[in-house]
């Protein structure tokens, strides 16, 4: 999407997007256009009784064709209900609705006139930046494997051109300067969505690592460990998961040093990257197994987040670590009852090979804290089906050993509407993963508290470092279109963690 920023003006044969309040009173540049049209716009508004009384929707609209005395060929008038109370997420949703409407009508030459949309909760510059973020996120599409669309695009060169979208404002210079934040979020989210959406025969562990390596173009230092290096280090837990696959397991480490003190402890983000999860020898049922391509959602979020931080040159030192495996069946696959030795030295009795994500994270977490001494660690994983039973698709599960870290993550999630719900950790839950023959077993001996015992397992690989585990199994994928996300991969976590970093750690 090509976005240009201009001062307040009209342009011939363009579509204008303006706004009015819930009482149908024009705001911002809409007032000026109404004057130029000799009140033609307000007359249309006042004569459309149905538009005047509709108040059930947060975002309603009216289309004015060929407005008199104006250069603009058409106007979209959005009615905003109580916009002076809008917060960040409201502006993002508004941007998503605007994109959806313009896309539905296949509009091309569009000018947005945002002046006048002033909220008491957020500055004008930030509010329009968030609107543009929502607009950009809603524009995401993944259609690279649709042959008919590809052939149609080749024949119709115009369809390959980006929509010409202009922002006309008295604050155009400041908005343009702030646009890097929109691009950073949009590209980070798009990268995550692409990684999660790609089919598993394409997005293998080496291919995810290759995508992580692409961040070197943005100043990120990337190191990729293969099976030989991980075997030498003793990462038996992670390596046990990928033993049945023809694709080599990888550990990708991404380092961004944006703080003025390059030696300051990094913020660490760790992701589970199971490129496809058959369940291994503990084979999953066939129904729904196709969804297991997004079992690498945690790693996708970490890669996308690192791109976002690098693109906007975040003033932090951050590290992203992703454990990348494919959980398959083969003559070398791990069996239930095998005992493996982790990088930490602790032994694990594997009772269920479908509880594999925790085995990947165990080594990734311990390696991160031992090698990089981070300020804190946040890991993300599509870890348990139990979290979906508990929270559905509205919240991700939060487990932590640190109240401050938890509160910061929860607050950032509320701002971005990527909501978290904290669950308890307790020694009595921890006892449920004790093994009679090893230091621990990878599942509990009971049916209850599946998400909690999984988190207790992870905590055994965390020493005194502040740590949080986000179980995003229910929020990584959506089966319905959302205001800023089409059906499919949501990239839940990229915006949340970017906000978390910016609000609490940027430059400090």
- Which pLDDT score is estimated for 153? 56
Least confident of 144-153, 201-210, 304-313, 381-390: 144-153
Q: What is the mean pLDDT of residues 272-277?
A: 98
The reported pLDDT for the residue numbered 489 is 98
User: pTM for this structure?
Assistant: 0.96
pLDDT at residue 104, as a whole number: 94
- Identify the pLDDT of residue 157: 46
Architecture of the structural domain at 184-504: 3-Layer(aba) Sandwich (3.40)
Average pLDDT on 226-245 reads 98
Question: What pLDDT sits at residue 450?
Answer: 98
Q: Of the candidates 483, 165, 454, 489, which has an alpha carbon nearest to the alpha carbon of residue 299? A: 489
CB 112 within 8 A of CB 78: no
Structure-token match 């994928």, residue found? 477
| pLDDT at residue 497 tops 90 | yes
Confidence of residue 150 (pLDDT cuts 50, 70, 90): low
User: What pLDDT does 53 receive?
Assistant: 81
Mean pLDDT (whole number) for 350-356:
98
Provide the phi-psi class of 313: left if phi over 0, else alpha when psi is between -120 and 50, else beta.
left
Could you count the other beta carbons within 10 Å of the beta carbon of residue 308?
26
Q: How many residues in the chain? A: 508
Cβ within 8 Å of residue 50, ≥6 positions away: none
The pLDDT of residue 262: 96
Name which of 138-152, 266-280, 333-347 the model is least confident about: 138-152
Q: What span, in angstroms and rounded, lies between the C-alpha atoms of 203 and 29?
A: 47
Flag whether pLDDT at 158 surpasses 70.
Answer: no
- Segment 194-200 shows an average pLDDT of 98
Q: pLDDT at position 222, please?
A: 98
Q: Which residues are catalytic?
A: 284, 358
User: What's the mean pLDDT in 163-170?
Assistant: 91
- Segment 189-195 shows an average pLDDT of 98
Q: Label residue 279 left, alpha or beta by phi (over 0 means left) and psi (-120 to 50 means alpha).
A: left
Per-residue pLDDT tens digits for 51-88 = 888 765 667 999 999 999 999 999 999 999 999 999 99
Q: What is the mean pLDDT of residues 477-496?
A: 97
Return the pLDDT at 159.
42
Quick one: pLDDT at residue 187? Answer: 98
Calpha distance 434→453 (Å, rounded)? 11
Say what the pLDDT of residue 446 is.
85
Q: pLDDT at position 155, please?
A: 53
The CATH number of 2-170 is which of 3.40.50.2300, 3.40.309.10, 1.10.10.10, 3.40.220.10?
3.40.220.10
Please, what is the average pLDDT of the chain?
Answer: 95
- Residue 330 pLDDT greater than 80, yes or no: yes
pLDDT at 327: 98
Residue with tokens 């959506």: 478
| pLDDT tens per residue, range 440-458 | 999 998 889 999 999 999 9
Is the pLDDT confidence value at 32 over 50? yes
What is the pLDDT averaged over residues 105-122? 96
Average pLDDT over residues 183-204: 98
For the segment 122-142, the average pLDDT, to the nearest whole number, is 97
pLDDT in tens, 369-385: 999 999 999 999 999 99
HEC states along 3-32? EEEECCCCCCCCEEEEEEECCCCEECHHHH
State yes or no: pLDDT of 160 exceeds 50.
no
| Mean local confidence (pLDDT), 408-426 | 98
Q: What is the pLDDT of residue 52?
A: 83
* Structural domain boundaries in the chain: 2-170, 184-504
Summarised one tens digit per residue, pLDDT across range 42-53 is 999 999 888 888
Return the half-sphere exposure (C-beta side, CA atoms, 13 A cut-off) of residue 382. 28
């Amino acid at each position: 999407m090509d976005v240009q920023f201009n001062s307040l003006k009209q342009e011939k044969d363009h579509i204008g997007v303006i706004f009015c309040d819930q009482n149908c009173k024009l705001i911002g540049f809409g007032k000026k256009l109404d004057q130029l049209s000799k009140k033609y716009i307000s007359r249309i508004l006042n004569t459309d009784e149905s538009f005047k009384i509709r108040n059930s929707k947060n975002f309603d609209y009216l289309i004015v064709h060929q407005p008199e005395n104006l250069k603009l060929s058409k106007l979209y008038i959005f009615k905003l209900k109580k916009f002076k109370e809008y917060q960040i997420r409201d502006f993002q949703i508004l941007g998503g609705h605007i994109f959806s409407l313009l896309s539905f009508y296949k509009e091309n030459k569009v000018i947005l006139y945002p002046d006048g949309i002033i909220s008491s909760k957020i500055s004008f510059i930030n509010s329009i930046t968030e609107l543009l973020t929502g607009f950009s996120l809603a524009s995401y599409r993944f259609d690279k494997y649709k042959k008919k669309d590809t052939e149609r695009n080749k024949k119709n060169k115009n369809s390959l051109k980006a929509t010409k979208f202009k922002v006309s404002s008295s604050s155009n210079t400041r908005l343009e300067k702030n646009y890097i934040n929109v691009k950073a979020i949009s590209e980070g989210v798009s990268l995550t969505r692409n990684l999660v959406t790609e089919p598993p025969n394409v997005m293998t562990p080496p291919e995810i690592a290759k995508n992580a390596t692409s961040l070197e173009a943005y100043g990120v230092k990337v190191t990729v460990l293969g099976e030989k290096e991980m075997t030498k280090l003793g990462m038996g837990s992670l390596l046990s998961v990928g033993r049945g696959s023809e694709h080599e397991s990888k550990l990708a480490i991404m380092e961004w040093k944006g703080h003025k003190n390059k030696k300051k402890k990094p913020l660490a983000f760790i992701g589970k990257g199971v490129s496809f999860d058959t369940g291994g020898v503990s084979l999953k049922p066939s129904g729904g197994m196709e969804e297991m391509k997004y079992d690498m959602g945690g790693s996708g979020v970490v890669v996308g987040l690192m791109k976002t931080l690098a693109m906007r040159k975040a003033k932090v030192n951050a590290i992203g670590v992703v454990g990348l495996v494919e959980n398959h069946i083969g003559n070398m696959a791990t069996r239930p009852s095998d005992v493996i030795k982790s990088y930490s030295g602790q032994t694990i009795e594997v009772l269920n090979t479908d509880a594999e994500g925790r085995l990947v994270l165990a080594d990734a977490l311990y390696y991160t804290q031992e090698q990089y001494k981070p300020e804190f660690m946040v890991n993300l994983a599509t870890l348990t089906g139990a979290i979906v039973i508990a929270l559905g698709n509205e919240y991700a599960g939060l487990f932590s050993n640190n109240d401050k870290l938890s509160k910061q993550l929860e607050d950032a999630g509320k701002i971005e509407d990527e909501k978290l719900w904290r669950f308890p950790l307790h020694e009595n839950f921890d006892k449920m993963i004790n093994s009679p023959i090893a230091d621990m077993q990878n599942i509990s001996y009971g049916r209850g508290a599946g998400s909690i015992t999984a988190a207790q397992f992870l905590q055994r690989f965390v020493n005194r470092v502040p740590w949080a585990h986000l179980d995003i199994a229910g929020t990584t994928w959506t089966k319905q279109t959302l205001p800023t996300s089409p059906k499919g991969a949501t990239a839940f976590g990229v915006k949340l963690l970017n906000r978390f970093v910016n609000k609490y750690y940027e430059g400090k």
